[in-house]
Amino acid sequence: MKYEDAPDLKERMNDVVNLLGMNHIVIDRVECVRSFGSSSRRTIARCHALGKLMQKAMKNKAFYAIEFLELFDKMSKSEQDKVIIHELMHIPKTFGGGFRQHDYVCDRNVDIMYEKFASLKKTSGSFNKENDKTDKKLFSFWR
């Protein structure tokens, strides 16, 4: 396996976090990495975490890494955005080193978040208080 930093994907991740209001995600404690040479034929991306025991032993705070496999770069931008959203949704509100499981990070919820992201992106991030009230009802699973 070969790994390389992916600052372009971190920038896209940052845009997703900011537009979707994923304020619990500490951008400075999440890194994006491309990997090459995986034998996986179906996996596109993976979210890794520094678990509680390692945090305590290292006297460090939670840290997440999102690994993007070779298949990711062959996808359309919109599908890539969905994958980024999917991986970010695995990070729980506590930002403590754990994961949200696939009962929550499912196609339905990812599609809802992607539609919200695409809509906000089109309007150049004009996210006002009136939209926020509507979103609290529509996207209550996220809050």
CATH code of 103's domain: 3.30.2010
8, part of any domain: yes
Contact 99, 90 (CB under 8 A): yes
Rounded to 10 deg, the angle between the 7-20 and 77-89 helix axes is 70
Residue with tokens 């991986």: 87
pLDDT per residue as tens digits for the range 90-113: 999 999 999 999 999 999 999 999
Asked whether residue 40 carries a pLDDT value surpassing 60, the answer given is yes
Domain extent, residue 110, equals: 2-138
34, part of any domain: yes
143, part of any domain: no
pLDDT per residue as tens digits for the range 50-104: 989 999 999 999 999 999 999 999 999 999 999 999 999 999 999 999 999 999 9
The two tokens of residue 66 are 């999102």
Number of domains in the chain: 1
Model-level pTM? 0.85
35, part of any domain: yes
